Structure 1
């Protein structure tokens, strides 16, 4: 199994706007479970401490294998969510590892 962790910094400085953006991203990303083959689980979480010093939100997703992660990256439903996140983020960091 491959665990995919991505952290995002949002471009907005307005806390209410950030909350709304994360809520939308969470809803759309977590809805991909059962849609994207090989995606076992997805959890999206808003940062809870040190606002401004930490990333704003993160996702943790588990995939059957590396091939499933690679298929997810180009899946049309993921691409829709990624396009939205691309309009609201100013930074991104990711790591993938076997579990």
Structure 2
């Protein structure tokens, strides 16, 4: 199994705006569950302490293998969601590992 973790740092200046954007990102990403068969599990979390320097949102998702993750990455619905999220970001960092 491959675990895919992505952290997002939002570009918005205010805590309120970041909270709205984090909720939007959460809805968008979770909308992929049940649409893209290769997603075995998905969780989206936000930084509860609003700690300076921390990422604001994280995606934690599991896939059967590397091929399943590769299919997810190019799936049209994932590409659409990624495109809707990208303009909100200051940075994005990911790691994929075997569980």
TM-score after normalising by structure 2: 0.94
Matched, 1:93 2:93: yes
Q: CA deviation at 1:49?
A: 2.1
Alignment match, 2:83? 83
Q: Matches of residues 1-99 of structure 1 in structure 2 within 5 Å?
A: 1-99=1-99
For 2:51 and 2:12, locate their aligned partners in 1 and report how far apart those are by CA, in whole Å.
12
Structure 1 residue ranges (4+ consecutive) displaced by more than 3 angstroms after TM superposition: none
Q: Point out where structure 2 has 5 or more consecutive residues left out of the alignment.
A: none
Q: Point out where structure 1 has 5 or more consecutive residues left out of the alignment.
A: none
TM-score after normalising by structure 1: 0.94
Match of 1:73, SS state, is helix
> Is 2:50–2:56's contact at 8 Å kept on the other side of the alignment?
no
RMSD: 1.0
